[in-house]
Amino acid sequence: MTYYHSSYGPPRKRSKTLRKVFWIFILIILIIGSGLAYFAYGVIYKPNVWTLEAKPVEIQIPTGSTFEEVKQILYKNGLIIHRNNFEWVADFKKYDELVKPGNYTIENGYSNNDLINLLRSGNQTPVNVIFNNIKNIYDLAGKVSKQIEADSAEIVNYVLSDEFSTASGLDSIEVGTIFLPNTYEFYWNTSAKGFVNRMKEEFDKFWLGKRLSLADDIGLTRKEVIILASIVEKETQKNSEKPTIAGVYINRLERKWLLQADPTLLFALNDNSIRRVLNKHKKIDSPYNTYKHLGLPPGPICIPSISSVDAVLNYEDTDYLYFCARDDLSGFHAFAKNITQHNRNARKYQKALDELRIYK
């Protein structure tokens, strides 16, 4: 007969109890593990980005930004719902080592995984850089720097640098002619050098083929076409009459007349308040005074639009030698073939200004 003494009962019963405890323990581990896995899945893959009215939001990450700075950009825009979750996933995916600058489009409902994958991929959204009605490269740089990362001073400095002058073969006056007002697609973090070089490429493409041939036919260089186009640009905002005005100036150049272009006087005077050009204005001593100096001025008086450049290249061949603003103040012009007709038109316009008490 066998005797045993145990508080756990017979060995078989004790074995069953241990197995039961073991499986309960395993079950608890599985439940906890499943819960943790579900929680981790939610942190990584469930939506954690909110945008106002569910509309896409663009953010800009400057060159050289750290993860801390990226967080502040996201948080300032109120895009992240659970910040701790976002930071945990970012740390897990080592985003702090892969921060890339640029303009990124953030969609409502993005998960942490979606957002971090986008930001560290560098797959940024291009921006449309738009510039028109530009006076000079300083004005241009100011407008462009508000649309891309490059600083306005950096743009101007590179345009005027010996490096760009040597690479482009353009002098200090000609460099301002390469910027053709239009809409261009750029990456937001484009550098000043990258922007200017791209504009030179666009300028060269613009002049390939037909336009250069048309300039040769007129007997003008690219620079001269752009100088004349800048005068046309300032004479009228009506694209329909730009070729006619260009034709008047071509006729004067061919006859070796003074251009007598009022916009060149305003450029020389640097006074935008003048609404009526008077005889005293025509006495200014400046190479841009086309009432005194024969031919084209030494440089453009603005950065002309493509429509003005094409108006010069495709000028209207007429017998017109004069023009002045219409007395209906519509912005259009009255054209004349002789001085008698022109004086008649001019008196009508001057009377209209007098009636409005515009004397200067």
Q: Name the nearest CA neighbour of 307 among 206, 199, 161.
A: 206
Q: What span, in angstroms and rounded, lies between the C-alpha atoms of 269 and 347?
A: 25
Write out pLDDT tens, residues 146-176. 999 999 999 999 999 999 999 998 888 888 8
- Looking at residue 174, its pLDDT comes to 82
Write out pLDDT tens, residues 122-137. 999 999 999 998 989 9
Contact 274, 234 (CB under 8 A): no
Identify the structural domains of the chain with CATH numbers, from first to last: 52-121 (3.30.1490.480), 127-207 (no CATH), 210-355 (no CATH)
Could you tell me the two tokens for 312?
């010069």
Q: Name the nearest CA neighbour of 342 among 359, 312, 315, 319.
A: 319
* CA distance between the termini of the chain: 133
- Looking at residue 22, its pLDDT comes to 57
Q: Name the nearest CA neighbour of 228 among 317, 132, 297.
A: 297
Query: How confident is the prediction for the chain on average, in pLDDT?
Result: 89
